[in-house]
Each structure stands twice: as C-alpha cells, then as structure tokens.
Amino acid sequence: MAAPPVFFGENYQIWSVKMKSYLEASGLLDVVMSEIQPLQEDPTVAQIRNYNDEVIRRVKAKTCIHSVVSDVVFTRIMSCEIAKEAWNTLQEAFQGNERTRQMHVLNLRREFEILRMKRAETIKEYFDRLLAVVNKIRLLRENLPDRRIVEKVLVSLLERFEAKISSLEDSRDLTMISLTELMNSLQIQEQRRLLRKELLREESNTAEGVFLARSQSSYKAKKKGWKNEKKSDEDDNDEKEKYSSCQHCKKTNHPLWKCWWRPDVVCRSCNQKDHVENVCKRKQQEVQIAQETDDKEEELLFVATCFASDITNETWLIDSGCTHHMTHDKDMFVKLDKTHSSKVKIGNGDYIEVKGIGDIAIDAGSGTKIISDVLYVPKINQNLLSVGQLLEKGYVVVFKDKTCEVFDTTGIKLMSTKMKGKNFSVNLQTDLAYSSVVNSGQIWQKRK
C-alpha cells in the first residue's frame, strides 16, 4: 500500500484526507484520534499485554506521520510525544481555527458565485475549473449540494447553450437532474456543434476547389486571346495621356488635381489637410492598435482609477478591479523582466503599456519583504495591490465594517486598514505586521 505524498505545507485539506485513508487502511486511525487509556491498578497479564500493544500502535502512527512530512514541517511536530498531539498541531497550523475556516469558506463561496464560462473554454474545462472550487469548499466541511452546482452551471453557461438548456427545461425536472448527467448532455451538444462546423468547413473547401478549377479553366481559355491582344494593348498604352511629375508627390500617373497629398484636400478620418483618408497615418495607427488589441484580448487588464488626495509613492491601494499587482516606480524592483509586455485598460477606456514584470522590495519595520509578479506600468498614478492575485496565492481578504483585513494561509493577520474616501490604502513600510519566514511560492518573503 503506497503512502500519501509528502506534505510540504500547502493544500493541507487534500493531504489530510489522503492521510486519514492511509491510517484507516493501516488500522491506526483510531489511535491518532484518541488518547491512550492508562492502566488500572493491579492489571492482569492480558491488560498489560493489550496496553503494550496499544503503545506500539501509537508509536507506529506517529512514525507514519513523521515519514510523510517535509523537514520544514517536521520541525513543528518533532517535540510532540504522541500521534494525536502531532496531528492536532498540523491541523491547527495549516487549517487554522474555526474563524479562519469560515473566512476561507467565505472567499471560496464568493469565487464560486462569480465563476462564468469563458468563450474559449470547452464544457469539460469549465466543469474542471468549477469543481476545483467546489472541492475546496467541501474539504473545509462546508455543505454544497450537487443541486446548487447544477443551478450554478445553468446560469453561467455561454449563450450558445441556451437552446439545450431550454430543451432540458421542457423535458426534465432540472431539480432532479444529476451533475454528471448535465455535463454529459452539454458535452454531446458541444460535440455535435463542432461536427457541424467541421462539415461546413469541408463543404466550403470543396466549393472553393470547384470555383478554383473553373477559374483556372477560364483563365487558360482567355490566356491565348490575351497574347494576341498584347501588341494592340502596347500600342494603346503609347497613346495614353502622360502627365508631368506631380509637384506634391513627384509621381507621373495622375494629374495634379487628383493627387492625394495636395494642400487643399481634407482627410475624412482626422480632419487634417494635405492628405486623404486612404493614406491617413493616424487611421493606420488606429487600425494597427485595434488589431493588436484583438490579438491580445486575453492579456488586457482593467485598472480602477482613483484620485485620492492622500495617495503617495509609498501608498498601495487594495483594488478588486485589477488582476495583478502594479506599480509605476521602477526603483522598487529588485528583479525586472523587461521582455514582458502587454496593455492595461484604465477606467476611461484608454490603453497604457506594461513595460515589464518582476519582484519589488518593501523596507518594512520587521525586515525587507518581497512582493512577486508585480507589473511595471509607468503611466499609472498609484500603486495597486490586486485582491484577485492575493486570493490566488491563498491569502484571505475580508471586507467588513469599512475595514479591510488580510490574513496569510495560517490565519495570521498581515495588515488591517480603514476605508478612506471609499478606498482602502495601506503603507506597506509601516503597516505590514508579518515578520516570519514563508516559502518562496507565496507573495510575502523574507529577504535572504
């Protein structure tokens, strides 16, 4: 029987479920969940033998736990005398107390409610993403029935599935349909739709082939006639009117009054003189920007603009409208990848350039902290901490009573700030309370 994977301090809920199954299969789960009963006075030989067997089982259980944790995690339980104490220590350290659990559940439920199917996703990809959140909620001992998940799927699908949903509503009681049955029905429709598109593409290619064959046949038939007419065409060209060099563009294929660059012409695109719309550089730039925007649609970000009077270079706004941490101060970066480029969409609809991504250093009172995956956007007017990026890293962000609090993955409070003018701002140099070392996969790190 294979042991569960080694626990490095992340995804405790998943590891604990696997570990319980392993202990149960080994006949040791009961000794981990209970304490040993002391011997009574004047025990019998059988009682002494049973007690000694119980002690050996508890040593085996503690050894099992020691063997499936990393050295860093082991230092937390190395002083525990019994398996139950070691198990409870890990649970308290990595799952937290009831209050922390409720905060995790609250954030996961919010993530569940805002999930929507993306346009480029398949049904399977969307279900996998949805069920990943559902399983995290259920691992925290929170009830989330399949019926609620079915309702979520039905209201979060793309418009192309509306016909299928209507058909299900007419033929079935949607409150009784299972999640697996719903997924299979939607996948069948998706496969049919892809098959129809493939057939239409093949028919289109066939029609193009027929048209091309006819065109080539017609071209060959006419080619002979063109050769016979070539000489007469050359004679006609000699008789065509020739123009002197245009004083605006220096070309000779048009009269002066038809020149695109004449001074009295007005462009319909930019309303400027000296050129027409066909050669307008501003219009060409707008078309190029639009094409680049379409090509990088998935890379566009949204920045919520703010013009608070007390914002400084050291202040960071906690923003739920942006998907990445951002700063305009290049000097903060201790590591910057300038090859990363994209665009950021701001509140007025304009796009501004992202000039790189990297790690920045914050000189807090408890030591230098590193914030990773921060975008360098020179033209924004404030530093932004992304709520979404904090949640992705496992942090808990709670908004309550006009206060924003941030907790790490073990339930320790990192910072707390009051709302100021409908904004939540924090000075990381003075307000960051976290001082212990965490692993490099998280946002806050102790500088080596």
Q: pLDDT per residue over 298-321, tens digit each?
A: 334 444 444 444 556 678 888 877
Flag whether pLDDT at 384 surpasses 80.
Answer: yes
Is-contact 178 169, C-beta < 8 A? Answer: no
Q: Where are the domains of the chain?
A: 12-94, 98-189, 256-290, 299-446
Encoded tokens for 50: 């049973």
Q: What are phi and psi of 224, to 5 degrees?
A: -65, -40
Instruction: Give the model's pLDDT for residue 356.
Output: 92
Instruction: Give the model's pLDDT for residue 215.
Output: 61
More confident residue, 159 or 260: 159
The pTM of the full predicted model, rounded to 2 decimals, is 0.36
CA atoms within 13 A on the CB side of 121: 19
Flag whether pLDDT at 130 surpasses 80.
Answer: yes
Q: pLDDT per residue over 388-423, tens digit each?
A: 888 888 888 888 888 888 887 777 887 888 888 778
Facing residues of 327 across strands? 376
State the Cα–Cα distance between residues 76 and 54, nearest whole angstrom. 25
State the Cα–Cα distance between residues 62 and 84, nearest whole angstrom. 8
